[in-house]
Chain A
Amino acid sequence: MYLNILKRDLKRNRTINMILLLFTILATVFVASGLNNVVTILNGTDYYFEKAKLLDYIVFTQFGDGGVRSILEHSKQVKNFREEYCIWGSNDDVTIKGKKLITKNNNTLVLQPLEEDQLHFFLADNTRLRKVKQGEVYVTSGILNKNHAKVGDILRIQLQGVDLSLQIAGEIKDALLGSDMMGNTRLIMNSKDYQVFASSEKVKPYEGRIFHVATDNTKALASELTKASNILFSSDRSMIKMAYVMDMIVAMIVLVLSICLIIVSFVILRFVIAFTIQGEYREIGVMKAIGIKNSRIRRLYIVKYCVMACVGGVIGFFVSIPFGNMLIASVSTKMVLGNDNGHGIHAIGTMLVMVLMVWVAYLCTGNVKKLTPVDAIRSGQTGERYQKKSGYRLCHSHVQTPLYMAVNDVLSAPRRYLTIWLAFFLCSIFMLGIVLVASTVRSKNLITCFGKESDIYIPDAKLIKMNVMTDDGKEQLKESYRSMEKDLEEKGIPGKVSMEVWYKYSCEVDGEAYSVIFQQNTETKATDYRYTEGTAPQNANEIAITPTIGEQLGVGIGDTVTIDFGTEKRKCMVTAMFQSMNQLGKVARLHEDAPTSMAYASAMMAYQIDFADHPDEKEITERIQTIKKMYDISGIYDAAGYCVDCMRVADTMDSVVVLLLIITGIVVILVTMLMERSFISAELGQIALLKAIGFTNRSVWKWHVCRFLLVAVLAECSAVVLTVPVTKLWCDPIWAMMGATDVHYYFDPIKILLIYPGIILGITLVTIGISAWKTWTIKGADLVNVE
């Protein structure tokens, strides 16, 4: 008999059951993919490195192996190691479609053959690159876009007299050099093509090695390797991991999004189950009246929801896999993100939804025990109510009836609309948060995290001559400033040129030695910078530090640090704290008079130009074009552009914004559509009544549209109001990971107040407009059919 009741129920309440099934599928998709994404992202780099066979310690050498192999063979620290051959080149040696190759962070290129026993490289679809045909070449991910090239274009390498043209076969994800911070471009070719270069005597000096070492003690190994020569760069796995911090930060956004979607799913699922069970009170009452036990009635409904959970869960499980992969793929263009237990985690997520659904059904049917048959027949309304539904009365209202009824409904049953509000709000606030972050990344608000604000920045390697990193380099650098100022003056552009130089000095605090990167710009004053705490360094014996350095050295404002400038040791007092995203915040700032030497310089940032005549933005843009022509370079930026160049996540953030907009749109469409269909089914009698007493179809439709639109407007307004504080809440810790402890967000009013809320409201309006069309089919005469 129960099976018959169940079958008939599934047939009779087809719309409501279909809505419930769709919500179950939706919840399963979001929860299963969300859970998998959380696990994937938390294990992000480790999984990638394992897949790529990246070992614990990496050593790059030039001019042969520099004795590294011998050290590794005899070291007790080494468990095993791998040696890969490579040729070092620069972007000057390569052209694509006849134009010089534009590389990422630096000009260095690595040419390598594809071999079985080496680091694994992956294609865009995360499959391993296993073969490179002769005459073809694979390049590091991002290079094609940067050079406006495509697969099939010709890449020409002219290295020390060897000239070889190869056809680009695709891009690779490179675990070791692929991150934006490492930024070296790797060209992977067939062994025979590689031999064309390797066999040339002229190329021999450029041949190097990449050693991948498995060890438990990287510190001891690093110490042993100091005896080797020609080491270009060595690093342990944690540093390589750190280089992916930007990618991981973007991936974290997917993690937060997944959590948001999980919350939305559970809230909506709970509401829909409670809502549908409420609609069945009459039948429950009839069953109670004819003497069926409470437990049997409850079991009937629990079985129904269990069947629904199983069907929805299975469908949701299969949909969740491609959906989750899509989310992850959108943020991992440089990484292979995933986990080996993906399907298992999806299954756990699915089970979780199924169990939760049955549990919620169990809780919601709890009322069966409390209700008498008569109460149940009255749909749970006992006739007694001590609380007014809404204080908003039609007799005191001055708006049209559809709008009044919409407002009154929302005020009368706030809990019901709270669910919709919450779903819209959660998605919107997260999306607006990402828009806020993306706008901030594209604004000049972050410039103080990279240096002093100037009118333009020229980080182009063609102008910045690294050969000034010698004892007398400071004078050469100053000469280059004056020369540039003169060039500009001749073009009628008066301005002051300067540059931030990074020095690597060892410091001593309480007998402990540390190696710290110091920033100094001798042409500006230390007081020109922004400090979050304390006062700017006033003389050469004062320094400012970041909170990260303060934590590392265990010092704060008022403490002293002994800095070994090479020529002398000075006790310097910490007078201020500042934020910096350079080196992820592991930097300190020197006074302009500090006795630095270019021999200790580790990096030169960008030429900064401060125009003397304070031009407006339009004039600055024109001057940028003039200077580009003057020096035949492309990389000249204003402050906002320089931030984008430094952060390198702006484009990814923009794609994440689009992705989020799509997901928010999908959630809004589904929630609106399914909720509205539930409401129409529950309010069939009221709609028919309005039609019967003479309300036009349009009036009834307007009532339903206004109701949803009202909730959507409330959700968007609250999301807009709370965007900044909520974004600070979840994003400030992410900025802090990058060294920025006091970020001023750029609130773009057009985007945050107008465009994005407008799009969501537009989507809601269209969806509700279409969904509420169903009310047109209900006639006054349908009152006869209402139970």
Chain B
Amino acid sequence: MGNILEVKDLCKTYVIDKRQNNVLRNVSFDVDEGDMVAIMGPSGSGKSTLLYSVSGMDLATSGSVFFDGQDIMKLDKNTLAKKRLDEMGFIFQQMYMMKNLTILDNILLPAIESKKSKESRAEKVSRAEALMRKLSIIEVADNDINEVSGGQLQRACICRSMINHPKLLFADEPTGALNRASSTEVMNELVRLNDEGTTIMMVTHDAKVASRCKRVLYILDGTIKGEYTAPTDEKLSDMDRERRLNNWLLDFGW
């Protein structure tokens, strides 16, 4: 399998009140197709900035980001937007949705906007419904966004992110606003999607969530301090996986 994402010497600098703030400093890493990578680190370490920079939502100051072999930092805004629409998926901590659309319509929105496939609108609707069925939220398809639980809403966000068959799914604290039960449900879905071949890169500060990923990158002060590869032994329980990750994190003072 090749790299879907290749990040080289990525730097991001904000200037606030004439003071330079280096949020990312020469960050380099790869994400293979079918991988599931978690970015961990304390608050303010640059996790979200890294996610937004590599996904093209925000432009980095220097360095390069190769997405599927193409340097996205050299793309114009429209091409970048098209890439995000057709080839990337996004899940956010706050479960942002369009307020005036139903759950189904919110999921359908990127599919209708995308010109990637020649599917008819009815086929796109069927696909959205199939996704919802898969994530067990089909019964809330016609509900408004404020008529469903947080867990259902985040699963709807996952459906929306998956509707255009993205090559890479970015998730920014996908379980950050959920309770334990909902959090487990959402992670189960993400793991299943990864098992089905979707590459996932997520930002989290929850070791339990990160322990379900194949790799973990630890970032501190804008620099990747370490990389953890999860054991491939399928007999290991989730608790053991979490314990091993926690042990690794202890080295960074976590």
Contacts and interface: CB of A to CB of B under 8 A. Distances in A.
B84 A694 contact: yes
Given A395-B125, A409-B100, A695 B144 contact: no
A673 B105 CA distance: 29
Interface in A388-444: 388-390, 393-395, 397-398, 401, 404-405, 408-409, 412-413
B104 A395 contact: yes
Contact of A401 (B109, B146, B160): B109
A780 B52 contact: yes
Contact of B52 (A390, A695, A698, A781): A781
B137 to A, nearest CB: 15
Interface string A621-648: 0000000000000000000000000000
Contact of B90 (A385, A393, A401, A692): A692
Contacts of B81: 691, 694-697
B110 interface: yes
A404 B106 CA distance: 12
Given A395-B105, A686-B96, A697-B77, A692 B57 contact: yes
Given A693-B85, A779-B57, A401 B112 contact: yes
Given A689-B96, A693-B90, A780 B57 contact: yes
Contacts of B105: 393-395
A697 B81 CA distance: 8
A200 B176 CA distance: 105
B135 to A, nearest CB: 17
A710 to B, nearest CB: 14
Given A694-B84, A696-B78, A389 B57 contact: no
B113 A694 contact: yes
Interface in A731-772: none
A695 B88 CA distance: 12
A441 B235 CA distance: 93
Contacts of A388: 144
Contacts of A394: 101, 104-105, 108-109, 112
The secondary-structure label for the interface of chain B is helix
A290 interface: no
A338 interface: no
A409 B105 CA distance: 13
A397 B102 CA distance: 13
A784 B55 CA distance: 14
A371 to B, nearest CB: 15
A780 B82 contact: no
B94 A783 contact: yes
A313 interface: no
A784 B48 contact: yes
B100 A413 contact: yes
Contact of A381 (B52, B96, B146): B146
A686 B109 CA distance: 13
Contacts of B101: 394, 405, 408
Contacts of B113: 401, 694-695, 699
Contacts of B58: 779-781
Contacts of B77: 696-697
A692 B146 CA distance: 21
A354 to B, nearest CB: 34
A683 B92 CA distance: 17
B13 to A, nearest CB: 15
A695 B94 contact: no
A781 B77 CA distance: 13
A389 B100 contact: yes
Contacts of B125: 395
B110 A693 contact: yes
B100 A408 contact: yes
A549 B84 CA distance: 79
Contacts, number: 101
Interface in A650-707: 685-686, 688-699
The secondary-structure label for the interface of chain A is helix
Contact of A383 (B97, B108, B147): B147
Contact of B85 (A393, A685, A695): A695
B121 interface: yes
B53 to A, nearest CB: 8
B19 interface: no
Contacts of B161: 693
Specify which of B83, B92, B110 lies most central, judged by the most chain A CB atoms within 10 Å of its CB.
B92
B100 A412 contact: yes
Interface in A772-787: 779-781, 783-784, 786
B86 to A, nearest CB: 7
A390 B100 contact: yes
Contacts of A408: 100-101
A409 B121 CA distance: 21
Contacts of B52: 780-781, 784
Contacts of B102: 393
Nearest to B51: A781
B99 interface: yes
Nearest to A688: B96
Interface string B126-165: 0010000000000000001011000000000000110000
Interface string A76-92: 00000000000000000
A381 B97 CA distance: 15
Interface string A369-394: 00000000000010111001110011
Contacts of A693: 84-85, 90, 109-110, 160-161
Nearest to B104: A395
Specify which of A388, A691, A692, A696 lies most central, judged by the most chain B CB atoms within 10 Å of its CB.
A692
B69 to A, nearest CB: 19
Interface in B1-46: none
Specify which of A395, A784, A786 lies most central, judged by the most chain B CB atoms within 10 Å of its CB.
A395
Contacts of A696: 77-78, 81-82
A692 B58 CA distance: 9
B75 interface: no
Contacts of A383: 146-147
B220 to A, nearest CB: 19
A415 B253 CA distance: 55
A783 B100 CA distance: 18
Contacts of A389: 100, 144
A388 to B, nearest CB: 7
Interface string B106-128: 00111011100000010001001
Contacts of A405: 98, 100-101
Given A393-B102, A401-B109, A689-B98, 7 more contacts: A381-B146, A385-B144, A393-B104, A394-B108, A395-B125, A693-B85, A783-B96
28 contacts: A381-B146, A383-B147, A384-B147, A385-B147, A395-B104, A395-B105, A395-B121, A395-B125, A397-B121, A405-B98, A408-B100, A408-B101, A688-B96, A689-B96, A692-B84, A692-B92, A694-B81, A694-B82, A694-B84, A694-B85, A694-B114, A695-B81, A697-B77, A699-B113, A779-B58, A780-B52, A783-B92, A784-B48
Nearest 7 interchain pairs by C-beta: A694-B85, A694-B84, A780-B57, A781-B58, A394-B105, A412-B100, A689-B96
